[in-house]
Amino acid sequence: MPSLTIFFPCYNDVGTIGGLVVTADLVAKEYTSDYEIIVVDDGSTDGSRELLKRVQKEYPRLKSIFHERNKGYGGALLSGFANASKELVFYTDGDAQYDLLELRKLFPVMQDGIDIVNGYKIFRSDPLYRIIMGELYLAMVRLLFGFRVRDVDCAFRLIRRQALEKIDLHHTSGVICLELVKKLELAGCHFVEYPVHHYCRSSGKSQFFQLRRLVHTAIDISVLWWELIISRKTPSRRCLPLISLGARE
């Protein structure tokens, strides 16, 4: 079996990150004996760092990366990708809105010739206003960037490290998800989509829906659109067909 990195960006997720590490260790050892677990603590102030130091004593496969200041969601993902050393790299968010046990379903889908198994939410378990804004956001970025995957914003992805080595990422905001998927598409990587469940946040609160962050996100989307769609001078390699597996309960 290929070796495996599981990593989590973490920002004030003290209520969930310990359980995610325990579950990650359980799922990873079922799949392979060669695995690592990484948590990127992005300047948390709620005790997440202290908790991770305690958990690390019991789970030696855990590697904690501590940002002294908050670098943003993209900054946390950049640290995770940079420190991932195994053949397959999986990441999901530290707030536990996805069921990490569903990673078991992604492993059989990652066959030869497939570079990314990209989750998509069967149903978004958020307040109505977030569901509406989320759908509008996805429609807008699909129009701007021509995404072929249905849920570019789903933080539940299993990626070959070889595919990550084909691209350069630099955005430090949540726009990194758009950058990641579009650059992998442009690199000719082969995606398969798989349905996953999405759950209500059990602790903490989203940092996204704040006016300052929304303004910065709009600016970052505009910059990325210019970089990848308008200014790109050389044609991309031909994209391979996208496979989408049907929703399953």
Global model pTM greater than 0.75: yes
Q: Is 160 helix (H, G, I), strand (E, B) or coil?
A: strand
Q: pLDDT digits over 127-152, tens only?
A: 788 888 888 888 999 999 999 899 99
Q: pLDDT digits over 185-225, tens only?
A: 999 999 999 999 999 876 655 555 556 777 888 899 999 99
Q: Which residues contact 97 (CB under 8 A, 6 or more apart)?
A: 125, 198, 199, 200, 201
Q: What is the pLDDT of residue 179?
A: 97
Q: What is the pLDDT of residue 232?
A: 72
Q: Which domains does the chain have, with CATH numbers?
A: 4-244 (3.90.550.10)
240 CB-side CA count, 13 A: 13
Q: What angle do CA 91, 21, 182 make, to 5 degrees?
A: 5
Provide the residue count of the chain.
249
Nearest to 104 by CA among 198, 29, 9: 29
